[in-house]
Chains A and B, each alone.
Chain A
Amino acid sequence: MGEKFHEELKELRREFCEYSNFSSLMLKDAFEALKSGDVDLSADVNARKKQLSGWSDHFDERLLTLIALYQPMAQDVRTIICTLKMNTAFYRIGRYGKDIAILVPDFATSGHLGRMLNLPYMAELVFSMIDDTLEAYRSGNISLISDFSGRDDRVDDLRYSVFREGVTYMMEDPRTISRCMDYVMIARYLERCGDHCCSMAEKIHYMVTGEKVDIS
């Protein structure tokens, strides 16, 4: 095997980073569209879902082919397993982008409540986790993901605070129910993305060092 395999794996990793960026941009653009009420941008995100799923299937297939053809070992097999798992995670992250995008038209007409129940801050935290996950995968620099446990706790707390704050608005004024429920759902999507980052961080840590760690 040797060189040809390692060239293929290197190229696959490079393309996988493009795909991960694409998926993460779906989430970021969806959130941007939500904040600004940009219906065109949200429609654009929604339209990207086909490419996302095509890309994800494509990586599954290529990774399986690499295993079947080369029966890789050690760091190579860890890289392939890590990439397979990350493929699922980034597909989900892209899909959460789509889920947020389809809520945008409602907010575009109704407007937002206050400061969107702290959602922009929560989104910022999650985006930074996604960016660091991707960079750690690309460069092997695991110091970027070493504090994920604490960051994930903050994201979880924010999700709960969105819920509680939402409940107070809904009790005060039933006309806010539909919007607050959407906020609670969005917080849930963002929290799921943070969780995916933690599970990817575990895989990346294993890929780089060969040691299993528990990040939750």
Chain B
Amino acid sequence: MVNMTTEAAVISTKGLNLYYGDNHALQDINISFERNRVTALIGPSGCGKSTLIRCFNRMNDLVDNVRVQGQILFDGEDIASPRTDVVEIRKRIGMVFQKPNPFPKSVYENVAYGPRVHGIKDKKILDQIVEKSLKDAALWDEVKDRLHASALGLSGGQQQRLCIARTLAVEPEVILMDEPCSSLDPIATTKIEDLIEELKKRYTVIIVTHNMQQAARSSDYTGFMYLGKLIEFGETCQIFEAPGERLTENYVTGRFG
């Protein structure tokens, strides 16, 4: 097990339990995510990994019958509390989803949307933000001549990087990625993985993936979840080379899942 001091942790949970009605979807989760590191969450479908990261920016709020117990600390503050400003949290903790979901607007507008919502109106500043975000998402060179064309005309991989640029535009601290490459081809996947490597210099990245090789390649830490429990958490090379738990071993070697 990796011991992480709470100072180094950006997000941590203490005794986190989540119920969908009678379904106990997350069971006593205690986990910490270190700043400027990539942490991967792996586990078979339905194990709770997406549910867990959706807790971090309160995306589960919209689900009926959901009940959350325990603490989710973000920079020391409990974000599970009803007093939390959800919009503020979603600005600081951005999310990229499985399927690229650009708005049916231009490339430019997709990226400028967030900053506008947060009150930036100056065209010059917006231009700068759009350019910087697209550059950071390694997309600028491909779209700089078509900033005002529809984002829906981009390829799947480009759309996904656009969604990452859209997330970066509001300068989050943490980026949650829920299987960001599962609908992309291998080349687009490689680009996203290279991008993750770059992003971790400035952001904390938490990625949910079904692709074990992707977790092994792109993350510093890996957590393995099974049936709503965090079974094992450790440095990625340890989890994939010599896992401590039999369940992890069986999952990463493809014996179930």
A interface residues (Cβ-Cβ under 8 A, vs B): 1-2, 5-6, 70-78, 206, 209-211
* Whole-angstrom CA separation of A211 from B213 in the bound complex: 22
- Chain B nearest Cβ from A94, distance in angstroms: 30
At the interface, yes or no: B62 with Cβ under 8 Å from chain A? no
| Residue from the list A72, A210, A211 in contact with B253, Cβ < 8 A | A72
At the interface, yes or no: B242 with Cβ under 8 Å from chain A? yes
Q: A1-B254, A2-B254, A6-B255 are in contact. Are A74 and B213 (CB under 8 A)?
A: no
- Chain B nearest Cβ from A144, distance in angstroms: 21
10 nearest CB pairs, A to B:
A210-B242, A73-B252, A1-B254, A76-B253, A2-B254, A74-B252, A73-B240, A74-B253, A74-B249, A71-B213
Using A1-B254, A74-B253, A78-B241 as known contacts, list a sample of 15 further A-B pairs with CB atoms less than 8 Å apart, ordered by residue number in A: A5-B254, A6-B255, A73-B212, A73-B216, A73-B252, A73-B253, A74-B241, A74-B242, A74-B249, A77-B240, A77-B241, A209-B242, A210-B241, A210-B243, A211-B242
* Whole-angstrom CA separation of A70 from B212 in the bound complex: 11
B interface residues (Cβ-Cβ under 8 A, vs A): 212-213, 216, 240-243, 248-249, 252-255
Residues of B near A70 (CB, < 8 A) are: 254
Residues of B near A210 (CB, < 8 A) are: 241-243
* Whole-angstrom CA separation of A206 from B255 in the bound complex: 20
Residues of A near B249 (CB, < 8 A) are: 74-75
- Chain B nearest Cβ from A6, distance in angstroms: 7
* Whole-angstrom CA separation of A72 from B213 in the bound complex: 9
- Chain A nearest Cβ from B193, distance in angstroms: 14
Residues of A near B212 (CB, < 8 A) are: 71, 73
Residues of B near A6 (CB, < 8 A) are: 253-255
Residues of B near A77 (CB, < 8 A) are: 240-241
* Whole-angstrom CA separation of A1 from B254 in the bound complex: 6
Q: Which residue of A lies closest to B212 (CB)?
A: A73
Q: Which residue of B lies closest to A73 (CB)?
A: B252
- Chain A nearest Cβ from B42, distance in angstroms: 10
Residues of A near B253 (CB, < 8 A) are: 6, 72-76
- Chain A nearest Cβ from B66, distance in angstroms: 34
* Whole-angstrom CA separation of A70 from B254 in the bound complex: 10
Q: Which residue of B lies closest to A4 (CB)?
A: B254
- Chain A nearest Cβ from B131, distance in angstroms: 38
